[in-house]
Amino acid sequence: MRSNRFVTLSVSLLASCIFAASASAATAEQFPADSTMAKIQQRGKLVVGSSLNTLMFSSKNPMTGEVEGFEADLARMLAKKLTGSEDNIEWVSTTPENRIPLVENKRVDMVIATMTVTDERKKAIGFAGPYYLAGQDSLVRADDHSINKTADLDGKTVCVLSGTTVERNLKPLAPTAKIVTFSDASACVEGLIDKRFDAYVDDGATLVGESMRQPGKLRVVGSPFTEEPYGIAVTKEDTAWRNWINSQLSTAIDNGHWKELYGKDLESGLGAPQVPVIEQ
């Protein structure tokens, strides 16, 4: 008798699970079979390229192994919408130099890695967004008061990252700056601390994160000299994928979820948000 009750209960639980799965499948958004969205649904995971080393935006917590930050949370939002769980993500580490090749070669579904939307980059890839508005600025030693604006970089030794737009933007404003390029932000920060460089110039949002890693040693000048809209990179021809991401970003802005994530990940370091306008 007890055995029969156990079988009946097991069958009921199984039926409930099947019903829940069927209901979930029925309510999932339907896409054309050959679309990127459908392929991600079938695969069961979203493949995301991100720096995994940019505080507040995308950084791997050494204690938990979890990827944290604003970009990570936006990627989770998209993964949950497509696969039913925000945990269904394969993370691929990026650098400024390999971001575009990763997209072009379809190694990733998207790159979200503090990547500025530019007309030059649009010749090779597509962009959804922007999801954040930044501006390039200077990181200097806290006790160096000789640099308080971009023009003060004239004659100074400045570190920038290869594969970024910084060098091109900086030259007209500080034409005699001695520019040194590296592929790794940590090299610029280390050189700044040991006085091989006078400044490290990059997006102000990422420089704040670097200053947080070196409390009391470095400061962001606070004189942004560009506007840097961050976009989510996708293959150039995949307009359906780009448009779907844009629709999700627009919804998140309209329903307050974007602002909620900003408050969680960025507001304590970067202040009140400037809400972006999604390009259609």
Would you place residue 114 in the very low, low, confident or very high pLDDT band (cuts 50, 70, 90)?
Answer: very high
Model confidence pLDDT, tens digit, residues 25-69: 434 689 999 999 999 999 999 999 999 999 999 999 999 999 999
- What pLDDT shows up at residue 2? 45
Would you place residue 279 in the very low, low, confident or very high pLDDT band (cuts 50, 70, 90)?
Answer: confident
Tell which residue, 154, 165, 147, 178, has the closest CA to residue 227: 165
**Do the Cβ atoms of 76 and 46 come closer than 8 Å?**
no
Residue 15 has pLDDT above 70, yes or no: no
List domains and CATH numbers for the chain: 36-134+228-269 (3.40.190.10), 136-220 (3.40.190.10)
Residue 1 has pLDDT above 60, yes or no: no
Which residue blocks in 56-173 are alpha helix, DSSP H?
A: 70-83, 99-104, 119-122, 166-170
Would you place residue 24 in the very low, low, confident or very high pLDDT band (cuts 50, 70, 90)?
Answer: very low
Backbone angles phi, psi at 251, to 5 degrees: -65, -40
- What pLDDT shows up at residue 163? 86
Model confidence pLDDT, tens digit, residues 215-264: 999 999 999 999 999 999 999 999 999 999 999 999 999 999 999 999 99
Would you place residue 280 in the very low, low, confident or very high pLDDT band (cuts 50, 70, 90)?
Answer: confident
- What pLDDT shows up at residue 188? 96
Measured CA to CA, the distance from residue 101 to residue 124 in angstroms comes to 9
